[in-house]
Amino acid sequence: MNFTSFILYCFIVTFTPGPTNIVILSTVHNTGTKKALEYTYGATLAFGLLLLISAMLNTMLIGIIPKILNLMQVIGSFYMIYLAYQIYKMDSSKSSEKQSGTFMSGFLMQFLNPKVVLFTMTVIPSYILPYHVKMSTVTISVIVITIIGFLAFITWVLFGSIFKVFLQKQKKTVNIVMAFCLVYAAVMIWI
């Protein structure tokens, strides 16, 4: 196994903008770091769970994976467009409780996020299983990838926290840009 290639792949996929990272940034902007962290914890737990599911079921699902991935693309695209609309119409002058990111929304987002589903369904069979089939090695790999994902999410929280004052002065513009990025991500999974 090319460990460098594996680590680079994990970092590139998890740190680049995607639906989860955009929602994290938007949550920091609109409701604060505490709520973004709550969302991040849910997203991280689901990310690790998806990796574990992928590792355990990959060989059993080999014949139906394309059908599952197509369904996830459709559901994920609609969910990202819904999130884009919610971010676009978000009014931070209203109560933040209704608009804030929660642990459960972060958790559920991962299961509907095509970028995450595709990544978790490909990283284990591409980089781990061809070289290591021991449960201990696969488990360590899942933990390492989950930690990398968590570091990516926290980076987006920190970025949002550092630039929060600027982002709050440009609320509507930031919401439009974040919404556009989500729509772009929804379209890009089909190209």
5-10 contacts, C-beta under 8 A, 24 or more apart: 5/127, 6/123, 6/127, 6/128, 7/148, 9/123, 9/127, 10/123, 10/144, 10/145, 10/148, 10/149
Using DSSP, how many helices (H) and how many strands (E) does the chain show? Answer: 10, 0
Please tell me the distance from the alpha carbon of residue 12 to that of residue 49, in angstroms, as a whole number.
Answer: 20
| CB of 175 closer than 8 Å to CB of 90 | yes
Q: At 76, give phi and psi (nearest 5°).
A: -60, -40
**Stretch among 3-7, 49-53, 152-156 having the lowest mean pLDDT:** 3-7
DSSP symbols for 79-103: HHHHHHHHHHH--TTS-HHHHS--H
pLDDT digits (tens, 9 = 90+) for 63-107: 566 666 567 667 767 776 877 787 788 765 554 444 457 999 999
Residue 80 vs residue 141, higher pLDDT: 141
How many Cα neighbours within 13 Å face the side chain of 46?
A: 21
Cα(6)–Cα(10) distance, rounded to whole angstroms? 6
The pTM of the full predicted model, rounded to 2 decimals, is 0.74
Sign, CA torsion 61/67/70/71: negative
CA distance 97 to 49: 27
The per-residue pLDDT for 60 is 62
Least confident of 41-45, 151-155, 160-164, 170-174: 170-174
The first and second tokens of residue 121, run together, are 């369904």
- Among 2-11, 86-95, 115-124, 158-167, whose mean pLDDT is lowest? 86-95
What is the residue whose two structure tokens read 């379209």? 187
Other C-beta atoms closer than 10 Å to the C-beta of 78 total 12
- In this predicted structure, the answer to whether residue 151 has a pLDDT above a threshold of 80 is yes
